[in-house]
A and B are shown apart, each in its own frame.
Chain A
Amino acid sequence: MQTVVNFENVGLRYGAGAEALSGLSFKLFAGSFYFLTGASGAGKTSLLKLLYLAHRPSRGMIKMFGEDIVTMPRDRLPGFRRRIGVVFQDFRLLNHLSAFDNIAMPLRISGIEEKDLEGPVNELLSWIGLADRASARPTTLSGGEQQRVAIARAVIGRPEILVADEPTGNVDPEMAVRLLQLFAGLNKLGTTVIVATHDIHLLREIEGAQMMRLKDGQLSDPTGSLKNPAVPLVLNN
């Protein structure tokens, strides 16, 4: 099984404060589904930021796709970011753009021609049930609709890693399950999915998902709360 992410003794410190993350060592495997849980302030968002290359760790080693991204020169990082899809906790859709243009953004950044991106974007729009809202601005969409657009934007580029921070935070339980099914579908196509969530109930919805639990910035042993983990979470120590 291929390792896509490898953390070794990683720490993250904001400014001069205490470490928000410390001594993280683990591996994530291609095509697996991970839940990241932990109390508020435990460091979930911080860990995801390291995964989507918004921060460099203050210590330790991180390899992604087999390459050391800690010492990697800045100008090589965009190529890696294009292989990672992100759903932000607060969506972070661009309000001056239509739903279509929001979803198309990653493809445009990758330099896909206009004629080649219309098909995939429209296809995804109908898959998330928003085909008729293609030209709507995010501010005119409901919370759940915005969330679906945010997810569509994260997956349009067929990322190898999908990172989602509380993607079900603001929706009703039914919608939460539906969104999760969307991630599961993508996961079946081979994408490694990491979902940070508070919602313990969700953990049972994905067959074979694994749990990473953060406590005070440290990764605690995965407990038996997951049923039949197909691939156990590998801790490096």
Chain B
Amino acid sequence: MGLKSTLARDDSKIFSDGRIAGPMPWVIAIMVFLTILASAAGVAIAASASQNNETLARKMTVQILEEEPIKRNNQRTQIVEYLRKLPQTESVTPLSDADIIQLLEPWLGLNEDTAFESNELIPLPAIIDVQMKVIADEPLRIQMLSEMQSIAPSVRLDTQESWIAPLYDLMRSFIYLIFALILLLAAATSATVVLAVRSALDTHRNTLDIMHLMGSTDSQISRLFQRRVAVDAFFGGAIGFIFGCLTIWFISSRLNNLIAGVVSQISMPWYGWIILALIPLLMGILSIVIARWTVRGAMKKIL
């Protein structure tokens, strides 16, 4: 039939107000903000999991819990020597006292000044990071431990595996949880758009009826709403995005201070930022699609 199905660009000649009234842009801002936080957490967890997985599994920690400092230092030197000679080790790194203090600081409330004063009160262990060439199996670990015990009876050998495995399970659960959360946020956003569009349909009922009887097509009418929803959604999305990014930057700088040394730094990989930038865009598109669907559903009910 070739009906011209566009309306004048300046549709203030049709609707009185330029925007869909109500809190929709702000709700979308909040949804985008929360989605950004959730996604950033997901991306960071997934990235750090895959980044650390292999290396962590090949990592072991040797601790010497000897209280007497001079004795401890001797034992450390000997054990480092022993470990370096082992063909299966890739690198052996004894941590300096300063490193250890920094590592323990968040747990013990120490800082460098008080730590040295209180050295006698709270004996620090010697810690040696060992990076293996392969993942150490049980017999190898038992052999290593017994040989080291002959040097220092108080030695402990920790594989990262023992606590890494449940940590990875936890990380995986977190990622599923985050997916579910994002779906819920998208659903809540859709519901908000449906409600806002329905109330706008009500507000403009009379206008729409007249337009309909004069031969407006459904797409002309739904475009009036889509355009308004688009403006509101991208406005809200931009605000949510800006606050989301600020929050991520703030949290990640805090978090990296806290966990320094435990696992390698949690950081957003480059593609993480692309994912975050897509969120307001996708939320906007979702809103427009939902608006279109709502209007068309309502229009179908009148002939």
Contact = CB atoms under 8 A, between A and B. Distances in A.
Contact of A104 (B13, B209, B215, B303): B13
- B contact face: mostly helix, strand, loop, or mixed: loop
Contacts of A86: 213-214
Interface of B: 1, 3-8, 10, 13-16, 206-207, 209-218, 220, 300, 303
Interface in A151-182: none
B303 A105 contact: no
Given A55-B303, A108-B7, A79 B215 contact: yes
Interface in A71-119: 74-82, 86, 92, 94, 96-97, 101, 104-106, 108-111, 114
B8 A114 contact: yes
Chain B CB count within 10 A is highest, among A55, A56, A92, for A92
Given A56-B303, A74-B300, A78-B215, A108 B4 contact: no
Nearest to A98: B13
A204 to B, nearest CB: 31
A106 B214 contact: yes
Question: Lowest 3 CB-CB distances: which A-B pairs, in order?
Answer: A111-B4, A82-B215, A81-B215
A82 B214 contact: yes
Chain A CB count within 10 A is highest, among B7, B16, B217, for B217
Contacts of A82: 3, 214-215
B286 to A, nearest CB: 25
A105 B6 contact: no
21 contacts: A52-B213, A53-B213, A74-B300, A75-B218, A76-B1, A77-B303, A78-B3, A78-B215, A79-B3, A82-B214, A86-B213, A86-B214, A92-B206, A94-B207, A96-B15, A97-B16, A105-B14, A105-B210, A105-B211, A111-B6, A114-B10
Contacts of A55: 303
A202 interface: no
A96 B213 contact: no
Contacts of A231: none
Nearest to B211: A109
Nearest to B1: A79
Interface of A: 52-56, 74-82, 86, 92, 94, 96-97, 101, 104-106, 108-111, 114
Given A54-B213, A81-B213, A108-B13, A74 B303 contact: yes
Contact of A109 (B1, B16, B216, B303): B216
Given A54-B213, A78-B216, A108 B14 contact: yes
Contacts of A74: 300, 303
A54 B300 CA distance: 13
Given A94-B210, A111-B4, A75 B303 contact: no
B217 A75 contact: yes
Contacts of A111: 4-7
Nearest to B3: A79
Contacts of B14: 97, 105, 108
Contact of B13 (A52, A53, A97): A97
A82 B209 CA distance: 14
A228 B35 CA distance: 76
Given A53-B213, A109-B220, 8 more contacts: A54-B303, A75-B217, A81-B214, A82-B215, A96-B207, A104-B13, A109-B216, A110-B4
Contacts of B216: 78, 109
Contact of B210 (A56, A80, A92): A92
B16 A96 contact: yes
A111 B219 CA distance: 13
Contact of A53 (B1, B3, B303): B303
A101 B7 contact: no
Contacts of B211: 105, 109
A108 B8 contact: yes
Chain A CB count within 10 A is highest, among B216, B220, B300, for B216
A34 B4 CA distance: 31
A74 B217 CA distance: 10
Chain B CB count within 10 A is highest, among A104, A108, A109, A114, for A109
Contacts of B220: 109
